[in-house]
Amino acid sequence: MTEPPRPPGAGDPGNYPPEPPTAPLSGAPGPGSYPPPGGYPPPTGDQPPSGGYPPAGGYPPPGGYPPPGGGYPTGGAYGGPGGFANNEDKTWALVAHFGGAVGMIVSGGVLGWIAPLVAMLARGSQSPTVRAHAVAALNFQLIWSIVGLVGWVLTCILIGFIGVGAAVILGLVFGIIAGIKANEGQLYRYPLSANFIK
């Protein structure tokens, strides 16, 4: 025997009666429709604070936004010890360090001293900061250029490849480290260096 059909929503747990419409069928919004007609009203100021946003006086807050950390830093890349007076000084300091590293690679560990010497002669007499960076790079690159040159001379007995490899690798690595430090406004003290130039 078959059962007669049931009305919608009767008996089956998955069938629910249809929801009544919230707006009149004429298309005009009525009470309870979403969103409310005319939009939401503006906030009145009696809402609880939401983690500090928005600021108490609105946007922007009265007096402007304070800088992060309570103030602008006084030292850093363009001021304080080891800093640069202008972008030209920074550029010449980077030429001294990165140029020395590139010179060691290009010349096979012999001519890394050329870029620091050029930086010292071009800008060292006008800027003590550039001179300090150029002298540090020049002293380091001179030492390792000598090691590279001796290594090339000794390659005829096959032990010189160690000196050439050390000169190229150390000149590259420490030149890049010094250039990164110079970019941050710091004078890098090269390890394994001597003070030929003062």
For every residue of 50-117, which 3-state class applies, written as one string?
ECCECCCCCCCCCCCCCCHHHCCCCCCCCCCCCCCCCHHHHHHHHHHHHHHHHHHHHHCCCCCCHHHH
Residue 14 has pLDDT above 70, yes or no: no
Question: What pLDDT band is residue 198 in, cutting at 50, 70 and 90?
Answer: confident
Over the stretch 153-184, which tens digit does the pLDDT of each residue have? Answer: 887 777 777 788 888 888 889 999 999 999 99
User: What single letter denotes the amino acid at residue 189?
Assistant: R
Both tokens assigned to 47: 């809402």
- For the whole prediction, is pTM greater than 0.85? no
Task: Identify whether 53 is part of a domain.
Answer: no
Rounded distance, CA 97 to CA 95, Å?
6
Q: For residue 106, is it within any domain? A: yes
Residue at 120 is within a domain: yes
Burial 52-74 (b: 16+ CB within 10 A, else e): eeeeeeeeeeeeeeeeeeeeeee
Alpha carbon distances (Å) from 112 to 25, 36, 40, 137, 150: 85, 74, 70, 9, 14
- Count the domains in the chain: 1
Q: Does 35 map to a domain?
A: no
Residue 191 lies inside a defined structural domain of this protein:
no
pLDDT tens track for 24-63:
545 555 555 556 666 666 666 555 555 555 556 555 555 5
Q: Bigger pLDDT: 36 or 125?
A: 125
Q: What residue numbers bound the domain in which 178 lies?
A: 87-183
**Residue 156 within any structural domain of the chain:** yes
- Judge whether 160 lies within some domain: yes
Within a domain: residue 22? no
